[in-house]
A and B are shown apart, each in its own frame.
Chain A
Amino acid sequence: MPRTSPLHPFTVLALAAAATATTVAIGRWWLSVAVLLACLLLAAWARRARRLAGLAVAILAPAFGSQLLIHSMADAAGGHVLAAAGPLRITAEGLATAGALGLRTGVLVVAGLLCTLLIDRHDLIAAVDLSPAPPQLGYLLAATLLLLPALEQRQRAIGQAQLLRGATLGGGPRGWFRRVRLRSVPLVLGALQDAADRSAHLAARGFPAAGPHTRLRTVPDSAAQRRVRRIALACIVLGPVAVLAPTWAGAA
């Protein structure tokens, strides 16, 4: 079974944001690699390393490919030409720029994905509910985070019913498109019907709360965690400023 973080969700988010902001501002490749490795280790602790790697590759491969195309394949400024063909020039400077930008994007994406794997979504919703944020924010978050699992369950039920009725989908891309076509309309209509059926009862149960409200669920927190969050928030603002200020001063 995957593990989730024993920390308050806001602590995880604040630490991830601080690490990302500082690393991107510093812009050293070795720091980016170190942060990526740390993320991978944390994902391994959560027993979600493969999931993190798969999602990260799916998102970063096209992003990194575009960086290569823009900065490496058609670099006009670099002096160290490694290969050239007509208007296309691959230069060492272009490759270095593409690599550095790709690593910064990687830190941003992997840290964000790690948060989604480490944080229990119900803890996050409860944390927002218990915070001074408007109750509608907790409602929106709950609706957003829980919609996908609900839709997944519903599309599985539709798929089973269609299978029982002899719907032959076949394999490969054609089978995939056929499955999407057959399931998407009943899935959307069913979701709308379900939302309409539930909304009156949710309203009757006072959801979302209009006034002071409580939660049965306890979200782990402590004075130490609150201090860590304050420090992390300071790092998010001051870290990049501290790193970049000398550069700005030099430029001036």
Chain B
Amino acid sequence: MSTGPNRVLGLELARFRYSGASRDTLSGINLSLAPGSLTVVLGDSGSGKSTLGAVLAGMLPRHDGDALDATLHLAGQRIRHRPGAAVRIDPVGWARQVGLLPQDARHYLSGVRATVAEELALGLENAGVPRAQMHRRIAALADRLELHALLDRDPAQLSGGQERLVALAALALDTPTVLVLDEPLAGLDAAAAARICEMLDRLRSGGTALVLLARAVDRLTAGADTVLALRAGSCHELDTAVPADPAPLAPAVRGAPGTPDEVLLGFSGVGIGYPGSAHPVVECLELTVRASECVGLAGPNGSGKTTVLKAAAGLLRPSAGQVHGKSLAAGTVGLLLQNPSDQLFERTVAREVAFGLPRRGPAAARIPAVLDSLGLGEHAQAHPYELPASARRLVALATVLVREPEVLLLDEPTEALDAHGLALLHAALAVVLDRGGAVLLATHDEAFMAATAHRVHRMGPAVAARVRDRTGGPG
């Protein structure tokens, strides 16, 4: 770590506590970032990574009781926060120095611009950059990131991976001296991830210091100058070098498929389009999912993976062909959506899982066991939004598993899951397959796919790029 004057950001944090919390979220953290450095902070969900990112980005403490005892050094200035006497931060001036990509990239997008190009330009517009210069900078960025196909799209109708790509591009356009990235590769396909890695390399060589907040080592963490482990809010420097390519997970779930003839879910010549669209998102899909089989859906962002899952769940009606299978006839298909916040709307975890279930039915009786199996038993009376991202994802999974679906549909199930959550997900999939059910999952997580899927169906490139998705974007 850089300690001398050659640093772009320094943090000496004694402690940080959220307003109304009974314990500190962060304590005893020292960071010093040199220009062009890569600092990796590894930690499980709930370890305080996102809080640390927000402190670095000047978004915490809020002036409603958060207690921060820390000193920051930025752009030649020393900023001293004391509990009860937090310094008021100019968010624009701070963001010119430190940019933050949040864990949910949707929060970075403004929601007030009509096209991706305008979304990218938002920061430049507010800084008064002339239009011609904005066009030049956006065109250059689009060349580097191959974003041209997205520039005229409505940001509200991008897939999850595309949202992350656009948010990162918008951050890069503002060229801050420090970039804090919370899980930057989550939900990105291999090509998009490679483009992001290349862009971040270029930013680093241009002097931008990167702070990477991650749950586990990945391709981005290779070449890190410093790797810190965040546990219960405290940082510990790791001595060991980070492997460039982590070993794939053991195929804990994948066994031999069961009764091979029983088709639980099938797609015969299925085409799916959206109203107002000239082109279908999915064309001539042929796919069968049999009992005790786990099938993976792979493909670039926007290739229609989410669309296929929604059609299997009965949320979308195919414009051509037929979705069939025993599970459809029985109505026992369960879908885990990509974004858990789309799936959570009750005020406690227990009420959330019980939603829609007959009160005295067998499914309602299963709730405690399902919560325990996913490590959520102690959070039964907590509000889902108060839980860390990994636990929130598991709550969404519990709402699906409690119905014991014959076919379990999973959209990017490993997003936001930490190592513990991932192990619980593996166990849950094994239970579904063991009882003769099937799993159809869409993911960019190759290691998870390799560990779970008996076979992988590869979707074509994004026909969907031309399509208006009125229900949340083709995935």
Contacts and interface: CB of A to CB of B under 8 A. Distances in A.
B134 interface: yes
B168 interface: no
A243 B355 CA distance: 64
A247 interface: no
Nearest to B60: A200
B149 interface: no
Contacts, number: 136
B111 A203 contact: no
Interface string B375-394: 00000000001000000000
Interface string B115-149: 00110011111111111001100100000000000
A208 B138 CA distance: 21
B258 to A, nearest CB: 25
A103 to B, nearest CB: 35
Interface stretch (B198-206, B334-342, B424-432): B334-342
Contacts of B315: 160, 163-164
B356 interface: yes
Interface in A160-218: 160-167, 185-186, 189-190, 193-194, 197-198, 200-218
A49 to B, nearest CB: 18
A160 B121 contact: no
B345 A122 contact: no
Contact of A216 (B57, B102, B121, B471): B121
Interface string B91-105: 110110001101010
A165 B399 contact: yes
Given A122-B114, A150-B156, A214-B129, A204 B57 contact: yes
B100 A204 contact: yes
A209 B399 CA distance: 43
16 contacts: A129-B125, A142-B112, A150-B111, A162-B345, A162-B355, A164-B315, A185-B345, A197-B107, A198-B107, A201-B100, A204-B59, A204-B91, A204-B95, A205-B95, A206-B126, A216-B135
Interface of B: 54, 57-59, 91-92, 94-95, 99-100, 102, 104, 107-114, 117-118, 121-131, 134-135, 138, 156, 170, 174, 276, 310, 313, 315, 334-335, 337, 341-343, 345-346, 355-357, 385, 399-400, 403, 470-472
Interface of A: 1, 122, 125, 129, 142-143, 146, 149-150, 153, 156-158, 160-167, 185-186, 189-190, 193-194, 197-198, 200-218
Given A122-B113, A165-B355, 9 more contacts: A129-B125, A150-B111, A150-B156, A153-B472, A197-B107, A198-B107, A198-B109, A205-B174, A216-B118
The 10 closest A-B pairs by CB, nearest first: A186-B345, A206-B126, A204-B95, A165-B356, A122-B114, A216-B121, A209-B126, A166-B356, A203-B91, A142-B112
